[in-house]
Structure 1
Amino acid sequence: MINGTIEEKLKSLGIVLPNVSDPAGKYANFVIVNGLMFVSGKGPSGHPKGKLGNEYTTAQGYDFARNTGIEIIAVLKDALGSLDKVKRVVKAQGFVNAEPSFEEHHKVLNGFSDLMLEVFGDKGSHARSVFGAVSVRDNLPIIVDSIFEVEV
């Protein structure tokens, strides 16, 4: 980063990284292959339960997606030691737990995307896709699966 480290950027944004959560099943939090770090699906801290369009609004979903991004950044920091080793956010897939008529999945995942741009600048621009899900693990409102290019 030109004007300081990514950790300094987080501090200026008032973001404190949580402890890394354990995987919810028999898989790794991340895998690194050929400079790409695949982060397993993460959800928001506090384990809120419910669907967008029923229990939660689009604005609340945006906040959940942003919080999920913070959870993912914590995995990156834990794995790499320094967030300055993140060369680029490559791809994000959001799985939004939503009632059938909900149509603002893209606005929910913007919470993740906006955070990546705030934290990583131009390196935070990424490809993405978002899906409505009839259900997700633990009835979380969103799960985000992500890929980063990293320095190994």
Structure 2
Amino acid sequence: MSGTVEAKLAALGITIPAATAPAANYVPTVISGNQLWISGQISVAEGKFLAGKLTGEADIEGGRAAARQCAINILAQVKAALGDLDRVKRVVKLVAFVNSAPDFTDQPKVVNGASDLLVEVFGDAGRHARSAVGVAALPFNVSVEIEAVVEFV
């Protein structure tokens, strides 16, 4: 049934934005076989960067919101590439980068913002392998960047 995923997103109050164009010399997605590889999506919403280095416990919720926005932006790229989010068979892998201070070690808690949304939207098909890595800086000083691999039909 077409539109099932979009109906779920609407029920969650989420509108999928238009997919953003690359900021440099790369493509936003690549299809290889039945897999869609999505270039890193940064934490940007309505033209505003969800920015800043995460430094402590107080930053986890803001980081989770930034990671959630990355997942929404990933869905925008999936929709642009496949035309229909219902074609997603499984979210295979996320690789997440968290702009964090050297002593910040809660990257997995931050990236749960993206993982939780994908599971909420796709159910068991949204469960994925994942890496959550702390980095010294990200483009535009955003808090989170996430790339993904999605299997589709």
Q: Which interval holds the TM-score relative to the shorter structure?
A: over 0.9
Alignment of 1:113-128 (within 5 A): 113-128=115-130
What is the DSSP-based 3-state SS (H/G/I as helix, E as strand, rest coil) of the residue aligned with 1:57? helix
Structure 1 equivalent of residue 53 of structure 2: 51
Structure 1 equivalent of residue 97 of structure 2: 95
* 2:59 pairs with 1:73: no
Structure 1 equivalent of residue 149 of structure 2: 147
Distance 1:150 1:25 in 2: 26
Distance 1:126 1:77 in 2: 19
Amino acid at match of 1:91: K
Deviation, structure 1 residue 57: 0.4
Deviation, structure 1 residue 19: 1.3
User: 88-97 or 18-27: which moved more?
Assistant: 18-27
| 2:71–2:114 contact (8 Å) kept in structure 1 | yes
Please identify runs of 4+ aligned residues in structure 1 that moved more than 2 A: none
Deviations 1:63-102 (A, max 9, x none): 0000110011011111111101000000001100001110
Give ranges in structure 1 of 5+ residues lacking alignment.
Answer: none
Distance 1:8 1:50 in 2: 32
Q: Equivalent pairs: percent with the same residue?
A: 43
Deviation, structure 1 residue 138: 1.6
Distance 1:83 1:48 in 2: 25
Give ranges in structure 2 of 5+ residues lacking alignment.
Answer: none
Distance 2:31 2:110 in 1: 27
Distance 1:53 1:141 in 2: 11
Amino acid at match of 1:6: V
| 2:71–2:118 contact (8 Å) kept in structure 1 | yes
Structure 2 equivalent of residue 7 of structure 1: 6
Structure 2 equivalent of residue 24 of structure 1: 23
Distance 2:96 2:62 in 1: 15
What is the DSSP-based 3-state SS (H/G/I as helix, E as strand, rest coil) of the residue aligned with 1:75? helix
Deviation, structure 1 residue 49: 2.5
TM-score (norm 1): 0.93
What is the DSSP-based 3-state SS (H/G/I as helix, E as strand, rest coil) of the residue aligned with 2:66? helix
Structure 2 equivalent of residue 132 of structure 1: 134
* 2:65 pairs with 1:63: yes
Deviation, structure 1 residue 12: 0.9
What is the DSSP-based 3-state SS (H/G/I as helix, E as strand, rest coil) of the residue aligned with 2:49? coil
Aligned residues, how many? 149
